[in-house]
Structure 1
Amino acid sequence: MKRRESQHRNPTGGWGNQPFTFVHLATMEGTKEQAEDHEYAWRYTAQRAGWRIYGKPPNVRVNTVLRMNSRRQAIARQCTWPSPKRNAWGWMKWIFGLSAAAAIIALAL
């Protein structure tokens, strides 16, 4: 894990000077192909939890759905993101606003 974090923090191989928090999600043993499958499954899980996923160079957003296949989908079904949905309250405000607008329209009629 320390080696992988140092790869991300290296100016030529990762995020360089941009601050970020490294969170341990899982450990696995296997081939490079299997490790990539797990990484894409976790990225997909994070995106579904409302997080933005970035690739290289920094600040380039990634659509994780484009890289998913049945093997990665099976892995993703076993992944549980450690924090609640990031943008859940934004949707709730939109729904409450829509409900309030409908109530005002109903009262006006």
Structure 2
Amino acid sequence: MKTAIKRKLLVHLFQKQEGRCCYCERYVILSYRWRDQQRPDAATIEHLKRRADGGTDHPDNLAMSCKDCNDSRQEIDWLTYRSLKRGEFQEFVRSVDHGARAAE
């Protein structure tokens, strides 16, 4: 993807997502300086369906994430990773465990 197109897309996603990572919802920074782009909270373009799994550069498959989330997602699908980052699985397990104890 050409740099000018990538920058426009990143600004569009930044505005659409109100400056928050699509996974952890932390505020990200938007900068074109290389040093700033290495920060864990730097805005990056994320392919929801990874290109390795047949994902494309179509806008419907793109979101903005912080560099930390983008680097650590690996092969996990985006929705599962989002739930993990937000603690939704742990919350579900606690509620099931609490319900089981109440039933005893």
Q: Which of 1 and 2 has greater Rg?
A: 1
Q: What TM-score range do you get, normalising by the shorter chain? A: 0.3 to 0.5
Name the TM-score, length of structure 1 as normaliser: 0.35
